[in-house]
Structure 1
């Protein structure tokens, strides 16, 4: 599909390359992202072929090192999509059945009334295990991933068992505990053996890439703003008692000292295995995962998932309003819909501050988008929606690419 021999003239400040048919995507990326705080990258795949691989901005705290093709970022909850894909790979080999009780594989998980909770419930955020308050007393305990797996195995589910309630951080440890029970491997190792190696790509890690790896982790850019102010730290413990979306979300992420994990000078969150949040990925690698899903499990490196497995993981499990975020996520098995015009048919996973992986099986289109901006409340709304605003350009460009002679104009929207 790529227009080989031709090169789109990228906008100022944007590096990489883009097929001319997807020039509007690169122009939109430049408008929404190329200026300002930090840096980031966007990858677009069509029919399994990468048609956009672009980046902009800087990757270091000082703002002096330019982003490049090997720069990775922590995509927050977009990490969940990668962890979910590990489980689907194991299911594809008959090691896991979605309708089997989790305790059939992870024996300790059956404690405290959880013996009948299924893998399907776990992957659709319906296990009643979303809240952190009874699991960890402080941020130091969150860094002990084996401890968190053990405490979730011993925990009692809440009254939300059976109803979708976004498991903001616990989802990752639930996936790793399940995967460990059938492979005897941690999720960091499985990110490499079940995702990166089968796809034949670099740029997929859980936590900081090892020294000598081609992939280089970006530093956090900007600040936590109000979240990390003295007043913010005083107010945060009170938010867990607030009714409605804010309190519901904070109960899934807050423990005393949590803000210390995102310290810009020493981000301890990258020193553990937190599969719900701390992947370290390039946009190209994240897009490659979803490209294989968009192409019914086939990747340029061979079959990644069976077509039947992709059909199953793409099936909507519930359209109920999520009890944590109060949004109709249309949960698949570990992925959610992205309800924006032009991109509703696809699914993937978005992270805090807007990084995302996304696939549309109907058009065989996939996107990977990552950046290193911290979730500052002053910019959070605009950052959170960058990927949503870029996706429709890719959808329109893909449609035009299948219709020779069609030109997709760039129609500016409000920039970030």
Structure 2
């Protein structure tokens, strides 16, 4: 496999790990980008643009983008934290202060920070939405506003895999009067020059490859992910919070369909290049290329301040969340204890590490069954750690 791109001196281990992902871990097409102190030090890509295309046909190019699934959640979180930074949103205010309909069914004491920290108690919908319904922001918002919580808001935490879309998207719309995707384009992506979209513009369609499931190779031994029995049982049980949370959209959308990619679902369907994801995180912790910065130091600390920790009611493992971001831990290993970011189920990963000045973005067209710790992404994270050492 020919690996394209460049690495700065000292970051050669990342190139080696990236190449090994193709030879050992069954990678089809992928890219990784790393910034340090606001400057790009890794920019690599290889393989085929489309997961189901033959090698060499429609090759992955420098500007190839892919859907990043739940890595989108970190971008949505940034929107709400920026509104707080600008004095337009109070994290401790009731959600109903901005969205009166949300006070229904026992949710009147839900606070904005509960939505960001997966403590809102509405990870499921009693009546799942179809893909077409899910793409309608009015229908999605009405569904979560009417939903009764499955635990007292704020009292516990569990991953809001799909409902995070309508919780965050509607709050952005209520505060700004603008659709979430439009606001993110104007206030986040464009100012920092990041190739990322929530609601893919038609003009960008040709840059996006086809995604799909890929099996882990048989020879990876300990690198293969084998879920613990309790986790496997939770995913198999149709009545569990785990299954119901991921099934809030039923059937699962076709992620390659133009209509789905054009929709704006802040939990699951953002599209980005590896550079766009890394550049976004670089702007959360400092200036990018001596220019734009998104978070003040105070907002950055808010983002990674622990809000939820321990057994996750949905993921059935111990998780740690800040305000909208997963924090470094066993379920989602990042670079160091101070890192914050978000994986995408089955592959993608973006995060920042303020102590080292590292911002990281990885995107792939081949999705695995892992939820938070894909072996390919983890191999690259370990390589970054080795380069810094």
Tell me the TM-score range normalised by the shorter chain: 0.7 to 0.9
* Aligned match of 2:305: 315
Summarize the Cα distance change of 1:57–1:335 in structure 2 as closer, same or farther, 3 Å threshold.
same
Summarize the Cα distance change of 1:193–1:278 in structure 2 as closer, same or farther, 3 Å threshold.
same
> How far does residue 250 in structure 1 lie from its aligned partner after superposition?
1.2
Q: Secondary structure at the match of 1:302?
A: coil
> How far does residue 279 in structure 1 lie from its aligned partner after superposition?
0.3
* Aligned match of 1:72: 65
> How far does residue 161 in structure 1 lie from its aligned partner after superposition?
2.8
Summarize the Cα distance change of 1:135–1:271 in structure 2 as closer, same or farther, 3 Å threshold.
farther
Summarize the Cα distance change of 1:94–1:69 in structure 2 as closer, same or farther, 3 Å threshold.
same
Alignment counterpart, residue 172 of structure 2, candidates 175, 179, 192: 179
Alignment counterpart, residue 39 of structure 2, candidates 46, 49, 60: 49
The alignment status of 1:393 with 2:383, answered yes or no, reads yes
1:18–1:52 CA contact under 8 A, matched in 2 = yes
1:83–1:275 CA contact under 8 A, matched in 2 = yes
Alignment counterpart, residue 191 of structure 1, candidates 184, 190, 197: 184
> How far does residue 179 in structure 1 lie from its aligned partner after superposition?
0.4
> How far does residue 388 in structure 1 lie from its aligned partner after superposition?
2.0
> How far does residue 270 in structure 1 lie from its aligned partner after superposition?
1.8
The alignment status of 1:384 with 2:374, answered yes or no, reads yes
**1:141-156 equivalent positions in 2, closer than 5 A:** 141-156=133-148
Q: Secondary structure at the match of 1:319?
A: strand
* Aligned match of 2:254: 262
Aligned-residue CA RMSD in angstroms? 2.7
* Aligned match of 1:14: 3
Summarize the Cα distance change of 1:302–1:109 in structure 2 as closer, same or farther, 3 Å threshold.
same
**1:185-224 equivalent positions in 2, closer than 5 A:** 185-201=178-194, 203-211=195-203, 213=204, 216-222=207-213
> How far does residue 38 in structure 1 lie from its aligned partner after superposition?
2.8
Summarize the Cα distance change of 1:251–1:381 in structure 2 as closer, same or farther, 3 Å threshold.
closer
Summarize the Cα distance change of 1:214–1:200 in structure 2 as closer, same or farther, 3 Å threshold.
farther
* Aligned match of 2:231: none
> How far does residue 238 in structure 1 lie from its aligned partner after superposition?
7.0
* Aligned match of 1:127: 120
Number of positions where the alignment pairs a residue of Structure 1 with one of Structure 2 = 365
* Aligned match of 2:53: 62
* Aligned match of 1:253: 246
Partners of 1:257 and 1:113 in 2: how far apart?
25
Summarize the Cα distance change of 1:389–1:248 in structure 2 as closer, same or farther, 3 Å threshold.
farther
* Aligned match of 1:290: 281
Q: Secondary structure at the match of 2:69?
A: coil
2:91–2:113 CA contact under 8 A, matched in 1 = yes
1:357–1:367 CA contact under 8 A, matched in 2 = yes
Summarize the Cα distance change of 1:328–1:200 in structure 2 as closer, same or farther, 3 Å threshold.
same
**1:233-382 equivalent positions in 2, closer than 5 A:** 239-241=237-239, 247-254=240-247, 257-259=250-252, 261-262=253-254, 266=257, 269-295=260-286, 300-339=290-329, 340=333, 343-375=336-368, 377=369, 380=370
Structure 1: runs of 5+ lacking an equivalent: 1-11, 226-235, 242-246, 400-416
Partners of 1:112 and 1:167 in 2: how far apart?
18
Q: Secondary structure at the match of 2:43?
A: strand
1:262–1:268 CA contact under 8 A, matched in 2 = no
Summarize the Cα distance change of 1:198–1:155 in structure 2 as closer, same or farther, 3 Å threshold.
same
Summarize the Cα distance change of 1:327–1:256 in structure 2 as closer, same or farther, 3 Å threshold.
closer
Partners of 2:28 and 2:235 in 1: how far apart?
29
1:76–1:351 CA contact under 8 A, matched in 2 = yes
> How far does residue 137 in structure 1 lie from its aligned partner after superposition?
4.7
Summarize the Cα distance change of 1:34–1:207 in structure 2 as closer, same or farther, 3 Å threshold.
farther
Summarize the Cα distance change of 1:135–1:321 in structure 2 as closer, same or farther, 3 Å threshold.
same
Q: Deviations over 1:174-233 (max 9, x none)?
A: 1111000011111111221121112123x111133322x4971111145699xxxxxxxx
* TM-score (normalised: structure 2): 0.86
